[in-house]
Amino acid sequence: VAAGRYSDLQLAAFVTACAGEHLDMDETIALTRAMVNAGERMQWGDGLVMDKHCVGGLPGNRTTMVIVPIIAACGLRMPKTSSRAITSPAGTADTMETLAPVDLDVAQIRRVVERTGGCIVWGGSVRLSPADDVLIRVERPLDLDSQGQLVASILSKKAAAGATHVLIDMPVGLTAKVRSAHAANQLARQLEQVGHALGLHMRVVQTDGVAPVGRGIGPALEARDVLAVLRRDDGAPADLAQRSLHLAGQILEFGGAAPAGGGIALATAVLEDGRAWKKFQEICEAQGGLREPPVAPCRQPVPSLRAGTVIAIDNRRLARIAKLAGAPTSACAGIAMHVQLGTVVERGQPLFTLHAASPGELAYALEYATAQAEAVHVMEDAR
């Protein structure tokens, strides 16, 4: 696969054959090891190397970009290689790319980490598990992300990047990628078993996956949320900040930088006193320079059809709408949310605003959004 010896048709057949739960544990471990061995491996010498990954399925969940500078500011190494979007409107690499270069080679990554203690780069540019990037390219148009390949994809990248300790964020919700506690426990066991087989220290954290995180869905819009949290702006999305601090706290405890139960307090102090923002700026400058994310020229609010209370938000439908608007290919495209679960709205009040790079993409997404009115479900006011 990494050598390019198979056609897309053959690769599609392989991806499809592995879909569902067709890979058993031995096959998943063997696939993960083969993917690691097919590319380069980074070595960081003695000491801990922290890493983190989100299983996905939750739009706007861009915690990595807040966590890395917190961890690095506390003295732990966190060379974060991230993926681009597979079936979502944005991956961490897509979002980070609106703020700083992410296509760094191994030598450049090493220089950034030696200088700052962390990085946020695209893993595909350094041949870390290159077969994974080939398979992702095939999975994307098929809209497939099978469990065995998901585990192999995540952990092959972590092992190849030289991680010693890996925290997995697993959002669980009816419209997230992992939809039930049973499925979450099953996937957690699989990740832990495969991780341990590769010599990794693993910690899986199940988190709330019922609704999007922050306000932006799409690379530039999610980047603006991250900047707001790091800059401690008034009105920064509290849910993104809280999730980031919770996970950063877990990593700090996992890596011994904070005592058990003291991780969140340390992470909060680092964010609130500006050390995280300073470290993020250092990382961006070391990667090639910090810039402001682009702004979409075409926008259209989508109003509520009734007065009432928001009682459900469909992550999958919103992700689909954002992709139809052009995300992640158009970095400025996506959705800016105006409501959360429990928000009381009037008829005609905007639920979210579509952002697009062209009128055609805006119209295309608006047509689908109008047809999928229950993407944000408003229970009608009894009055």
Residue 2 included in any domain: no
Could you give the CA distance from residue 264 to residue 261 in angstroms, rounded to a whole number? 7
How do strand 50-54 and strand 344-345 relate by DSSP bridges? unpaired
Structural domain includes residue 154: yes
Give the pLDDT band (50/70/90) at residue 83.
Answer: confident
Q: Residues 81-110: what's their mean pLDDT?
A: 93
Domain check: are 131 and 199 in the same one?
yes
Mean pLDDT of 168-181: 93
What pLDDT, in 10s, does the model give residues 271-307? 999 999 999 999 999 999 999 999 999 999 999 999 9
**Region 371-380 average pLDDT:** 87
Q: What CATH number should be reported for the domain holding residue 354?
A: 3.90.1170.30
Confidence of residue 76 (pLDDT cuts 50, 70, 90): very high
- Same domain for 107 and 234? yes
- Tell me what the pLDDT averaged over the chain comes to: 94
Query: The pTM is what?
Result: 0.93
**Domain carrying residue 152:** 8-287
| Structure confidence by residue, pLDDT tens digits, 155-166 | 999 999 999 999
Q: Report cis status (omega within 30 of 0) of the bond before 297.
A: no
- By percentage, how much of the chain surpasses pLDDT 70? 99
Q: In what order do the strands lie in the sheet with 201-208?
A: 50-54, 165-172, 201-208
**Cα(98)–Cα(293) distance, integer angstroms:** 5
CATH code: domain of residue 32: 3.40.1030.10
pLDDT at 340: 95
Distance of CA 230 to the CA centre of its chain: 17
- Give me the mean pLDDT over the 351-367 stretch: 97
Per-residue pLDDT for 267 more than 70?
yes
- State the average pLDDT over residues 354-382: 91
Active-site residue, 145 included: yes
pLDDT at 221: 98
Q: Is residue 326 part of a domain?
A: yes
The pLDDT, as a whole number, for residue 382 is 58
The reply to whether 282 and 355 lie within a common domain is no
Is residue 266 located within the same domain as residue 367?
no
Which of these three, 287, 319, 341, is where a domain ends? 287
Q: Are residues 178 and 310 in the same domain?
A: no
How far out from the chain centre does Cα 89 lie? Answer: 10
Q: Is the dihedral of CA 157, 160, 162, 163 positive or negative?
A: positive
Residue 152 and residue 268 share a domain? yes
What is the mean pLDDT of the segment spanning 334-339? 98
CA 159, 187, 319: angle at the middle one, nearest 5? 90
pLDDT band at 73 (very low <50, low <70, confident <90, very high): very high
Mean pLDDT score, 172-201: 94
Both 169 and 265 in one domain: the answer is yes
Q: Give me the catalytic one of 145, 169, 225, 239.
A: 145
Using CA atoms, how far apart are residues 248 and 245, in angstroms rounded to an integer?
Answer: 5
**Number of domains within the chain:** 2
> Is residue 21's pLDDT more than 80?
no
Whether residue 58 contacts residue 149, with contact meaning beta carbons closer than 8 Å, is answered with no
Q: 352: which residues sit within 8 A by CB, 6+ positions away?
A: 301, 302, 318, 335, 336, 337, 338, 339, 376
Determine, yes or no, domain membership for 225: yes
Mean pLDDT calculated for residue range 42-63: 94
What is the tens place of the pLDDT at every residue in 220-242?
A: 999 999 999 999 999 999 999 99
Q: For residue 359, is it within any domain?
A: yes
Would you say residue 303 lies in a domain? yes
pLDDT at res. 241: 98
Look at residue 22 in the predicted model and tell me its pLDDT.
84
